[in-house]
Amino acid sequence: MKKTVLLLIIAAINLVALAQNEEHTVGNKIILSTEPTIGVYCGAVYSDITNQLVVPSNTTPRGMSVFSNQQTTLDNIQHIDFGTTNDVYGSALSDLDNDGDLDLITAGPNGASTSPNNIYYWDEQEDQYKYTGSTYSFGQHAIYGKGVVTGDFNNDNKTDIVWFTEKYYYSRKYGIVVGINNTTSPDNITFESMNKYHIEDDEFRYGNTAYSTGDFNADGNLDIVTVGRQAGDTYRLLLGNGDGTFTLSKGDSAGDNFEPMYISTGDLNNDGKIDLIITRNDYTNRKTVIELYLCNDDYTYSKTQLYSYSYSYANIAYAVDINKDNHLDIACITYQNRKVNIYLNQGDGIFKSKSDIRISVEKDPRQLFFDDLVPGGYLEVITVANYNEIAYYEITKDTPTNISNNESQFKAYPNPTNGLINIPNYTGSVKVVDLTGNTVYFTPSFNHSINISNQPSGVYFLILEKNGQAYQQKIIKK
């Protein structure tokens, strides 16, 4: 037993040493597909359950290409032909008929007289999607679809659909079409109702990366968050009423020239509430900001500017646990300089000023997807570039060269401790990591003492970084 505990401690020491000095290697790009079927808009969707990637086509006639991801290869298993020259701006994968298979919903193709926003069920016998209807065939709604989300919006345990529409089809007013699902048998998708509602006179963004769902005010009803399109705009919350209708709640104006572009959501500081990451661009002055909106106890939001870029529009920022440490990180596309920047969460929603991982891509990246196809390590990154490239990148962590495996020269006391830890004569960052490698405390600027009294009893490691050198000390929490 003592040997086992010792091995655990040694393993943890090595683990936290690696975690503190995070140097990374991005593997060679593996091109999964160069078929000329990838659209310019952010309408692709990926399922890490079925490993299916569905991408809008920019070829004529327009359609959707369905791929099966096999880690280093991408099999094109189906091309859905729309028979038109009109574009698709969004898509979603959800199980609409409760048969265990993901069905496909599209925002578009747009511009035709009926402007169908289509629904396809997955035929398990033939391993392909089959058309079952549209907003026009189900509800006589000819809408210019800009985005689509799915979820149970009336609390009946069935997956409903919400499409976002262009003003041209709504008497100069923007709105949504809500399909309330009442399907009772597989491969026979039906709706109790499909109604359209005016939301506001502001415009919606294109694509899948401008919308997200979640219970943002913790009332038990599913909500939707999106962004405005005017200078100074921030977020738009469509708060679900539990019956398939919504109440609009706008975020405060930022009072600047930045227009919101895309949004991602997740609990970035591990407080049980959903936070927002918004990318906004100032096209006049060629600047981009990435902003973190942390959810307060009253479910309002406090804004922090994380990053600012000049002459490089950062189109999309994603919340994703890239290094699998139970803290959501941020992956950001700057498509004009063809970079993917990844910022690792240091704990409680704290990020370094510079990216921890940078991926250079040759084509203009429009969307990112993430999967865990390779055991261990980090999540793999899949890039969908403009027009004709889908690529795969594997990230590995390098062996550190400047971590001291000796006990820290800065002695923390008391040890064992009830929670309060003092570190004399030390200024710098402090991280506390448990035996599994999870960060339970972090501060970039230490001041006299820290308190981990809210953590359970056990073995922890104190990681100190000063002048480019990292030190560690084992701490016993009583």
Using only C-alpha atoms, what is the Rg of the chain? 24
Mean pLDDT of 378-389: 84
Mean pLDDT of 255-271: 93
Instruction: Please tell me the distance from the alpha carbon of residue 177 to that of residue 179, in angstroms, as a whole number.
Output: 7
Mean pLDDT of 156-176: 77
Backbone angles phi, psi at 260, to 5 degrees: -70, 140
Mean pLDDT of 231-251: 93
Question: pLDDT tens-digit profile of 75-114?
Answer: 888 888 887 777 788 899 999 999 999 999 999 887 666 6
**C-beta atoms surrounding 261 within 10 Å:** 22
What confidence tier does 274 reach under pLDDT thresholds 50, 70, 90?
A: very high
Closest C-alpha to 143, from 178, 183, 93? 178
Whether 144 contacts 175, CB under 8 Å: no
> What are 14's two structure tokens?
């090595």
DSSP letter at 345 equals: B
Question: pLDDT tens-digit profile of 115-128?
Answer: 778 999 999 999 99
Length of the chain: 478
pTM of the model: 0.78
Question: pLDDT tens-digit profile of 283-338?
Answer: 888 888 999 999 999 999 999 988 888 766 667 899 999 988 889 999 998 877 78
> What are 392's two structure tokens?
């795969």
Phi-psi region of 270 (alpha: psi -120 to 50; beta: other; left: phi over 0): left
Question: pLDDT tens-digit profile of 190-222?
Answer: 999 999 888 766 677 777 788 999 999 999 999
CB burial readout 295-316, b (16+ within 10 A) else e: beeebebebeebbebeeebbbb
Please list, in sequence order, all residues whose beta carbon lies within 8 angstroms of the beta carbon of residue 342, skipping any fewer than 6 positions away: 322, 329, 330, 331, 332, 355, 356, 357, 358, 359, 395
DSSP letter at 251 equals: P
pLDDT at 468: 62
What confidence tier does 149 reach under pLDDT thresholds 50, 70, 90?
A: very high
Whether 89 contacts 147, CB under 8 Å: yes
Residue bearing the bigger pLDDT, 65 or 435: 65
